[in-house]
Amino acid sequence: MLNKTFNKIYDTDIGYSFFNSKIAMISSAVLFIIFLCSIFAGVVSPYNPFDPASVSLMDAFTPPSWSEGGSPSFILGTDQQGRDMFSTIIYGSRISLIVGFASILFAMILGVFLGVTAGYIGGRYEIIVMRVTDVQLTIPSILMALLVNGIAKSVISQSMHSEMAIYVLIFAIGISEWPQFARVSRASTLVEKNKEYVSASRIIGLSNVLIMFKHILPNILRPLLVIATIGLALAIITESTLSFLGVGVPPTTPSLGTLIRFGNSFLFSGEWWITFFPAIFLIVLALSINLLGDWMRDALNPKLKIR
């Protein structure tokens, strides 16, 4: 049975491309492992670094286990508060992934909805939506996220800050990313709108809503998927940048970016591992997603000839 499904997938163009691309397979494998670790963080990481009981200042600044002064109980060493680096990285990546996924999901739903409706309905509605998209596209995402974050901070009272911080962050990054979804969905919708199967549905009187979401939407998913993947990488990088700058997730639930910020102060005094390992992890994460997205873009592009 499994063999049969495998053969069926291998037979499709995408399946073939996937199983023949070492890069695609390795990236997906890496990502898969990271996802699993994040979900089962409690099980995978040897310690819970955010449980104050399990952390002791005595263990602070322990270098990685393979270098002088290191200990096997802290594989990658500990940070300035005695937390195990390996565990903090796992928990940190969980936050990074959650924020990344949630914000892209938000951006996608908002962007696709606006893009498809704008492309299909046209008229003034389309003009307005596209103007907003254009204006926002000239503003880089980082700036957008910073602004929204900054505004939100001053609007929400101090006490609510920590609780709301993650939601605000997700909202901020999502708002900064929706225009590209809108733009691509609209362009694809315009192309599909002129195809004759849409005319056929309009002739029999099918409602516009049904046409948009039952007929057109499934046909524009491919390019959206590519953007979503690359956008995910961008979202994760944006989040870590914001956290690094100090305006991202609250320090109580640090993401990889926050960890890098923590370690930055100790870089020049010799405790390089506090910044190094989270940085490496972040790079691997972003790289895998980008590689996967790149492969997807080539595999799903009907214009590139098969070689």
Partner 1 sequence: MSLLKVKNLNISYPTRKETIVASKDVEFTLERGEILGIVGESGSGKSTIANAIINLIDPPGEITSGSIKIDNDELRDNEELIQEIRGKKIGFVFQDPQTSLNPLFKIKDQLIETIQTHLNLDYQDALKKSIQLLEEVGIDNAEKRIEDYPHQFSGGMRQRVVIALAISCEPDLIIADEPTTALDVSIQHQILELLKDLTKKRNLGVMIITHDMGVIAETTDKVIVMRHGLIVEQGDTKELLTNPKSNEARSLVISVPPTNKKIDRFKLISPDGKEITSDSKNLTKNIIKTWGARENTNQKLLELSGVTKIFDDKSLVSNFSFGSKNETAAKVVKAVDNVSFELFEGETLGLVGESGSGKSTIAKIITGLVRPTNGEIFYNNLSLYNSKRKYQIDKSRGQVQMIFQDPYSSLNPRFKVRDIISEPIRLFQKNISSSELTKNLYDLIDIVGMSRQSLDRYPHEFSGGQRQRISIARALATRPRLLICDEPTSALDVSIQAQVLNLLKDIQDELHLAMLFISHDLPVIRQMCNRIVVLKNGIVCETKESEELFNNPEHPYTQELIRLMPKIESII
Partner 2 sequence: MIVVAFVSFSLFNFVGDPVNSMTGIDASYERQAEVREILGLNDPVYIQFSRFLGNVVQGDFGISYQLKREVSDLIAERMPATLELVFVSALLAIVIGVILGVYTGIHRDSFVSNVILVVSLAGVSLPTFIIGIMLIYLFSVILGVLPSFGRGEVVQLGFWATGFLTVSGLKALILPSVTLSLFQMTYVIRLVRAEMMEILQTDYIKFARARGIKKNAINYKHALKNGLIPVITITGINIGTLIAFSIITETVFQWPGMGLLFINAVYFVDIPIMSAYMIMVAFIFVMINFIVDITYYFIDPRIRLKEEAS
Distance CA 104, CA 49 (A): 28
Please give the Cα distance from 260 to 255 (Å, whole number). Answer: 9
- Phi-psi sector, 68: left (phi>0), alpha (psi -120 to 50), beta: beta
**Binding partner 1 by CB under 8 A: which of 67, 71, 73, 199?**
199
Shortest distance (Å) from residue 217 CB to partner 2: 26
Rounded-to-integer distance, Cα 101 and Cα 107, Å: 10
Q: Which stretch binds partner 1 (CB under 8 A): 41-49, 85-93, 181-189, 215-223?
A: 215-223
Please tell me the distance from the alpha carbon of residue 140 to that of residue 284, in angstroms, as a whole number: 24
Stretch that binds partner 1, among 86-94, 97-105, 170-178, 201-209 (CB under 8 A): 201-209
Q: Name which of 39 and 245 has its Cβ closer to partner 2.
A: 245
Stretch that binds partner 2, among 2-10, 36-44, 162-170, 234-242 (CB under 8 A): 234-242
Number of H helices, E strands in the chain: 13, 0
275 lines the binding site for partner 2 (CB under 8 A) = yes
Q: How far is the CB of 7 from partner 1 (least distance, A)?
A: 13
Kindly tell me which residue out of 37, 260, 274, 292 binds partner 2, with binding defined by CB under 8 A. Answer: 260
Among 3, 138, 159, 194, binds partner 2 (CB under 8 A): 138
List the single partner that 95 binds among partner 1, partner 2, none, CB under 5 to 8 Å by kind. none
Query: Minimum Å distance from CB 151 to partner 1?
Result: 22
- Which CB atom, from 21 or from 241, has the smaller least distance to partner 2? 241
For residues 195 and 167, the answer to whether their CB atoms sit within 8 Å is no
**Calpha distance 72→63 (Å, rounded):** 10
Of 95, 84, 33, nearest to 60 (Cα)?
A: 84
Q: Is residue 279 close enough to count as binding partner 2 by CB under 8 A?
A: yes
Residue closer to partner 2 (CB basis): 87 or 141:
141
Does residue 234 contact residue 241 with C-beta atoms inside 8 Å?
no
Q: Choose from partner 1, partner 2, none: what does 247 bind? Cβ within 5-8 Å by kind.
A: partner 2
> With binding defined as CB under 8 A, does residue 140 bind partner 2?
yes
Q: What angle do CA 120, 124, 130 make, to 5 degrees?
A: 70
In 3D space, the residue among 102, 88, 112, 139 whose CA is nearest the CA of residue 236 turns out to be 102
Residue 196 as a binder of partner 1 (CB under 8 A): the answer is: yes
| Interface with partner 1 (CB under 8 A) | 16, 127, 131, 134-135, 195-197, 199-206, 215, 218-219, 305-307
